[in-house]
Amino acid sequence: MDNALEYQAVKPTTALAAVVERFWMLKTGSGAAKPIRLLPDGWIDVVFSYSKTDSFHVMLMGLGSVADQATLAAETVMFAVSLRLPAAEYLLQTRVADILNGVRPLPASFWNITAADLTDFGQFCAKLNNTLRALLQPILDPRKRRLFELLYASAGILPVHELATQSGWSSRQTNRYFQDYFGLSLKTYCAILRFRAAFPQLKAGRLFPDQNFADQAHFIREVRKFSGVRPKELARNQDDRFIQFSAWPEE
């Protein structure tokens, strides 16, 4: 039976780089349903999908802060957009705090994507590059713009007080914004970014921390916290169980 996964990802145009991390597509084979574990990766996703047993539908996936078990049906087709956090306010115009570790159904006509658009990944990306550029509002608040620039450039290694100071906010203000809009603290989000930044080194078989972690114990603790397994098991990724990890390119 064919139980292979097909994955592809591309970056957005420069005009969308502040809010879109990547476009991606995932297809499962015709074999049995595939159990997977979704890992926190610091993004929110708009996913368009259908399968042999399920009709076309659209969902908004909130931030993940814990690993989540799921099952992919055979012959599933998923085309999606991974969004950076500013997209919630400046592209989707909605808070996502209520769907931390959850999903929200979206209209089947969302962004004018149809099932027919899920046959050609290149055309899907081109269509959304144009659609999202027209919908995007400018990030006028310089504090938010600076905060997210620092977060993504540093992969979460800067402490909260330094992020707040450099962006012109207080630590209390930044944490209130994160809790209200995204459902978790800025400190937790920084930890998720550090965890995601470790994917390439783990995939390359290096089971020790780099500069993003205080020591080996801290590294193991954070990997277990967000993946549910020790670094060695995550790096082995038996049967491509960890989807985001499988899709992350090696260094």
- Say yes or no: 104 and 42 in one domain: yes
* Same domain membership, residue 164 and residue 125: no
pTM score of the predicted model? 0.91
Mean pLDDT of the chain: 90
Q: Quick one: average pLDDT of 95-116?
A: 96
Tell me: do 161 and 178 sit in the same domain: yes
- Total domains in the chain come to 2
- List, as one string, the DSSP characters of 19-79: TEEEEEEEEE-SSS-EEEEEPP-S-EEEEEEE-SSS--EEEEE---SS-EEEEEPTT-EEE
Q: Which residues contact 59 (CB under 8 A, 6 or more apart)?
A: 46, 47, 49, 103, 104, 105, 106
Asked if pLDDT for residue 216 goes beyond 60, the answer is yes
Higher pLDDT among residues 249 and 153, named by residue? 153
Q: Is the pLDDT of residue 1 over 50?
A: no
| Residue range of the domain that includes 33 | 5-135
CA distance 38 to 244: 7
pLDDT of residue 208: 80
81 shares its domain with 161: no
Q: How crowded is residue 83: how many other Cβ atoms within 10 Å of its Cβ?
A: 24
Burial class (CB in 10 A: 0-12, 13-18, 19+), 220: middle
Q: Are residue 115 and residue 148 in the same domain, yes or no?
A: no
| 154 pLDDT more than 70 | yes
Question: Collapsing DSSP states into helix, strand and coil, what is residue 130?
Answer: helix
Residues 29 and 122 in one domain: yes
Domain CATH number, residue 204: 1.10.10.60
Average pLDDT score over residue span 22-37: 85
Q: Where is average pLDDT lowest: 118-127, 170-179, 203-212, 223-232?
A: 203-212
pLDDT at 247 over 70: no
86 and 9 in a common domain: yes
105, 11: one domain: yes
Alpha helices in the chain (DSSP H): 86-90, 121-135, 142-154, 160-167, 171-182, 186-197, 199-203, 216-227, 231-236, 243-247
Q: How far apart are CA 213 and CA 75, in angstroms?
A: 39
Q: CB count, 10 Å around CB of 190?
A: 22
Instruction: Report the C-alpha gap between 233 and 222 in whole angstroms.
Output: 14
Among residues 98, 119, 135, which one ends one of the domains? Answer: 135
33-46 pLDDT, tens digit per residue, is: 878 888 999 999 99
How far apart CA 247 and CA 25 sit, in angstroms, is 10
- What pLDDT sits at residue 249? 60
Tokens linked to 248: 């992350």
Last residue of a domain, one of 113, 135, 157: 135
If asked whether residues 121 and 221 sit together in one domain, one would say: no
- CATH at 48: 2.60.40
Mean pLDDT, residues 62-84: 92
pLDDT value, residue 198: 87
Q: Are residues 65 and 146 in the same domain?
A: no
Of 21-30, 156-165, 199-208, give the range with the top mean pLDDT.
Answer: 156-165
Residue 116 DSSP symbol: G
Do the Cβ atoms of 73 and 51 come closer than 8 Å?
A: yes
Mean pLDDT of 54-65: 95
Mind listing the pLDDT tens digit for each residue in 122-141? 999 999 999 999 999 998 89
CA dihedral 206, 188, 11, 78 (to 10 degrees): 90
Domain end marker among 135, 165, 186: 135
Instruction: Look at residues 98, 127, 100 and name the one whose alpha carbon lies nearest to residue 112.
Output: 127
Whether 29 and 148 share a structural domain: no
**C-alpha span between 135 and 5 (Å, rounded):** 32
Looking at the fold, whether 24 and 78 belong to one and the same domain comes out as: yes
Summarize the confidence of residues 232-249 as an average pLDDT: 75
pLDDT grade for 243, boundaries at 50, 70 and 90: confident
| CA–CA distance, 135 with 131 (Å, rounded to integer) | 7
